[in-house]
Structure 1
Amino acid sequence: YTSRPELILAGAGHLGHALAKLADFLEYPYCIVDDRVGYCTKERFPNATNLFVNEDIGKALLAANLNEKSYVVIVTKDCDDIVLKTALQFPIAYAGMVASKRKVISIFEKLKSEGVTQEKLEQVHSPIGLEIGSETSEEIAISIIGQIIKVSKEKKPVKVKQLNR
């Protein structure tokens, strides 16, 4: 299991909780990022490797130390734009956001006006998850984790040149 995705679950609401339970089952390491102290608790997420809570969710996400192994899942109450802009500053493996088409267009236009490139925005998975007709939070979580598994398996390992001897 050396290639398990490291999940950064931005949002501790119903969907974040369903994703965490599925990550627990799959033994995927994950942390929770939120701007609400009452939601982002050890009681709700007992197996999270870390909880990052700050009323400025961008600062909470920065504390998660994003890197090329980070799979950022954005399911916040109302901070998707802040989380996405912050996440795209790092060489993350995956960024996915739950949002309607209209919301995605609105957020992308806002971020472009703030200097985020089209190339960066094209890396974002939204709508997030595989198309399986999901309705409940748990079904949506399965579709999201399914997409993350698929993306993580498609990542090509870096080839090391063989030296001629």
Structure 2
Amino acid sequence: MSIYYKISEMIKENKKFAVATIIESKGSTPAHAGKMIINSDGSIIGTIGGGLAEKYVINESISAIKEDSSKIVEYTLNNAKEGGLDMLCGGDLKVFIEVNNIRPTLVLIGGGHVNYAISKLVDFLKFDLIVVEDRKEFCNKERYPFAKKLYNDFDMEKSLKNLVTDSNTYIVIATRDGDEMALREIIEKESAYIGVIGSKRKVKVVLNNIAKDGVKKELIDKVCAPIGLDIGSNSPEEIAISIISEILMIKNGGSARQMKEVKK
């Protein structure tokens, strides 16, 4: 199996890793060309020549993965030179460490107009898309061609019980009549964001109902309801943009202020 095939497979599996590639070498070095995959636990596939230089690159790659930041590192392989590694090769090595970040997952519960509009924005924002809807005519590959997974069982409650989430999952609830049920099923699941569409009056009733049933206050306080940012939106497409904007604000730690008001 070639290293390029392995990289492709790991990207498809949405794994976090780094690829270290020799981009320049001068003089005597363990290798003048090479590429290797580094996992967050330090395990590797491939090599850039082995030895102390490779060990340093592995450590730098682990740090890069933790920091979500690609970088270029340079080493002098000569212990007689200031800052050089304890090696006798004598050459210089430049390595590019590229981090493959895990794509976030967006779960759309409900396949109606607003969530359909949201789905149109998802692909170029690099989210994996999952759609949950109890009507197959509103939840199929023709309607959601970019979806990674579709749950279109008539029993939506069952679908939500089977839904697997993590700390990088963003959830939008916009069903025709099952928002409260959906929120009950997913509120205790791990997630980065849960938003519920609806008027202030409607979402207040929903949140009060689940609070009466003993759902913890800290879980309820995490729910963004009504969903989205106030951009004066009216159409499904504009509402979708306001929702995606809120999700990106939370994902990226933004403030939602106009850029002219932001001082950096």
Cα distance in 2 for residues equivalent to 1:36 and 1:67: 26
Counterpart position of 1:41:
140
- Cα-to-partner distance string for 1:105-142 (whole Å, 9 max, x where unaligned): 11112112222122211100011111111111111111
Offset at residue 58 of structure 1 (A): 2.2
Q: Work out the CA distance in 1 between the residues paired with 2:155 and 2:179.
A: 12
RCO higher in 1 or 2 (8 Å CA, sep ≥ 6)?
A: 1
In the other structure, the counterpart of 1:85 is 184
Whether the aligned pair in 2 keeps the contact of 1:52 and 1:63 (CA below 8 Å) is: no
Offset at 1:15? 0.8
What pairs with 1:3-152 in structure 2 (closer than 5 Å)? 4-152=103-251
Tell me the TM-score normalised to structure 1 length: 0.87
Match of 1:161 in 2: none
Please report the RMSD computed on the Cα atoms of aligned residues, expressed in angstroms: 1.6
Taking the aligned partners of 2:192 and 2:216, their CA distance within structure 1 comes to 17
Which has the higher mean CA deviation after the structures are superposed, 38-47 or 50-59? 50-59
**Residues 1:140 and 1:4: Cα distance change in structure 2 (over 3 Å):** farther
Q: Secondary structure at the match of 2:210?
A: helix
Task: Please identify runs of 4+ aligned residues in structure 1 that moved more than 4 A.
Answer: none
Q: Is the Cα contact below 8 Å between 2:169 and 2:193 reproduced in 1?
A: yes
Structure whose residues are more often strand by fraction: 2
- In structure 2, runs of 5+ residues without a counterpart are 1-99, 255-264
Q: How many residues align?
A: 155
Distance 1:44 1:67 in 2: 25
Cα 1:32–1:40 shift into 2, 3 Å: same
Distance 1:86 1:154 in 2: 27
Structure 2: how far apart are the matches of 1:115 and 1:80? 18
Give the counterpart letter for 2:212 in structure 1.
Answer: S
Q: How many angstroms apart in 2 are the aligned matches of 1:16 and 1:64?
A: 18
